[in-house]
């Protein structure tokens, strides 16, 4: 009896751990879609395939083999056109942008682009409250905090107190391990001097941003590598 109860408790414990793991993966977006999330898409795909097969069969019976062949050629051309149109979108989702695309981005789109580039480099992007945007926060696999700001002038105004600084008050170490300031143009000399005084602040200007968007890892962006700013210990 006691052994049966022990086995039952162990089973419930394993189920609870598995449920907790699934919940954590879902919150971080790494668990993948559930069946009900993809059911509508699968249903639509089945309907489209059945309708296509029916149309080909009816056209063959009405006009002979030329009609379905012409339909297949047309569908192939449409598929190639759609693929070419979607290829830049898929590339941008992976965190790769051309200089022309960077120039056309507004501030929210630039924040999204940098978030994608951080994910591409292995960072886990963290959500921030709306009042702290445009900004990003991210952690690497060792738990170190990176904060990214987007402004032409690097030094924050007196009333611009970011969320990570407010939360860190009274909790020991204040601020992130590394802070980036992203600007598509060129930083002024005062910005460079301010960043040098801070020590953990690095400026990503237009040139470095283009290299980063082209695929150069954040760690290898010339004299502002994240690897140098984030010690191993």
Q: Which domains does the chain have, with CATH numbers?
A: 35-93 (no CATH), 99-229 (3.40.1350)
Question: Between 197 and 131, where is the model more confident?
Answer: 197
Helix (H, G, I), strand (E, B) or coil at 120: helix
5-24 mean pLDDT:
67
Query: Residues 169-175: what's their mean pLDDT?
Result: 50
Average pLDDT over the chain, rounded to whole?
76
pLDDT: is 160 or 129 the higher one? Answer: 129
Percent of the chain with pLDDT over 70: 69
Asked whether the CA dihedral 41, 44, 50, 53 is positive or negative, the reply is: negative
Instruction: Pick 76 or 162 by higher pLDDT.
Output: 76
- What's the pLDDT band for 227 if we cut at 50, 70, 90? very low
Say which range, 35-39, 148-152, 189-193, has the weakest mean pLDDT: 35-39
Q: What is the pLDDT of residue 154?
A: 47
DSSP state of 62: H
**164 pLDDT above the threshold of 50:** no
Question: Which residue blocks in the chain are alpha helix, DSSP H?
Answer: 2-27, 35-63, 66-93, 99-104, 107-120, 163-168, 189-198, 206-214, 226-229
The pLDDT of 114-139, averaged and rounded, is 82
Q: How confident is residue 78, by pLDDT bands cut at 50, 70 and 90?
A: confident
Residues 6+ apart with CB under 8 A from 101: 88, 92, 213
The pTM is what? 0.56
Instruction: Give 26-63 pLDDT, tens digit per residue.
Output: 665 556 666 777 788 888 888 988 888 888 888 888 88
Identify whether the C-beta of residue 128 lies closer than 8 Å to the C-beta of residue 137.
yes
Among 24-28, 64-68, 228-232, the minimum mean pLDDT is found in 228-232
Query: Which strands sit side by side in the sheet containing 201-204, from one edge to the other?
Result: 124-126, 135-139, 145-150, 178-182, 201-204
- Max mean pLDDT among 4-8, 131-135, 217-221 falls in 217-221
Residue-wise pLDDT tens digits, 94-120: 999 999 999 999 888 999 999 999 999
Residue 221 and residue 211 in contact, taking contact as beta carbons nearer than 8 Å: yes
Three state DSSP letters for 144-168? CEEEEEECCCCCCCCCCCCHHHHHH
């Amino acid at each position: 009896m006691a052994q049966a109860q022990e086995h039952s408790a162990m089973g419930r414990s394993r189920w609870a751990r598995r449920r907790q793991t699934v919940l954590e993966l879902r919150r971080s977006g790494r668990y993948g879609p559930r069946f009900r999330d993809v059911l509508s898409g699968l249903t639509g795909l089945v309907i489209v395939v059945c309708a296509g097969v029916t149309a080909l069969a009816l056209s063959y019976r009405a006009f002979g083999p030329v009609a379905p062949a012409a339909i297949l050629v047309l569908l192939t051309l449409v598929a190639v056109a759609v693929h070419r149109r979607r290829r830049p979108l898929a590339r941008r989702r992976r965190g790769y942008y051309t200089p022309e695309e960077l120039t056309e981005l507004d501030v929210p789109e630039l924040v999204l682009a940098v978030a994608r580039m951080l994910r591409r480099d292995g960072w886990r992007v963290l959500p921030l409250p709306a009042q702290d945007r445009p900004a990003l926060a991210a952690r690497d696999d060792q738990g170190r905090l990176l904060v990214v700001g987007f402004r032409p002038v690097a030094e924050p105004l007196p009333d611009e107190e970011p969320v990570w600084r407010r939360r860190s008050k009274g909790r020991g170490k204040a601020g992130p391990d590394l802070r980036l300031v992203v600007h598509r143009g060129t930083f002024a000399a005062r910005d460079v001097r301010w960043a040098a005084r801070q020590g953990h602040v690095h400026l990503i200007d237009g040139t470095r941003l283009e290299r980063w968007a082209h695929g150069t890892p954040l760690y290898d962006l010339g004299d502002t590598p994240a690897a140098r700013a984030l010690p191993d210990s």
